[in-house]
């Protein structure tokens, strides 16, 4: 699962959440998952965001910018664990690693400005 802001004034956009190895049996997440208030699903791994840490980092476009697009994507893979991925895996690296393993994906788009 990734949350990405392609409108961020940063090369390659801004990765707000990188989570993977979420068990296939997971049917949801606790409110606040990934924020430290609640853990991601058991056995899931949270990779490195553009904030330089793991966990969820909420939307925060620069004041006065047009609203940014936030793209949340859930991937169904043909592997239980992403080979070679760990806590330092970034969003772009994760996408490379799961190439060829994606069975399906669902994407949600939100917009936020301030």
Residues of the chain under the 70 pLDDT cut: 37-39
Q: Which domains does the chain have, with CATH numbers?
A: 2-112 (3.90.280.10)
* DSSP SS3 for 92: helix
Q: Can you name the residues that pair with 82 across neighbouring β-strands?
A: none
How far is 114 from 97, CA to CA, in rounded Å?
34
At 36 the pLDDT is 72
CB atoms within 10 A of CB 46: 21
How far is 73 from 59, CA to CA, in rounded Å?
15
Q: Which two tokens stand for residue 10?
A: 């940063």
Q: What is the pLDDT of residues 79-100, one digit of tens each?
A: 999 999 999 999 999 999 999 9
At 39 the pLDDT is 66
How far is 41 from 64, CA to CA, in rounded Å?
35
* DSSP SS3 for 95: helix
């Amino acid at each position: 699962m990734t949350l990405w802001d392609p409108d961020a004034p940063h090369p390659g956009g801004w990765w707000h959440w990188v989570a993977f190895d979420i068990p296939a049996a997971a049917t949801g997440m606790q409110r606040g998952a990934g924020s430290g208030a609640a853990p991601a699903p058991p056995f899931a791994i949270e990779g490195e965001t553009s904030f330089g840490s793991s966990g969820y980092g909420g939307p925060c476009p620069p004041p006065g910018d047009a609203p940014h697009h936030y793209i949340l994507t859930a991937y169904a893979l043909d592997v239980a664990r992403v080979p070679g991925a760990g806590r330092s895996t970034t969003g772009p690296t994760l996408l490379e690693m799961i190439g060829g393993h994606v069975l399906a994906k669902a994407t949600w788009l939100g917009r936020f400005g301030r």
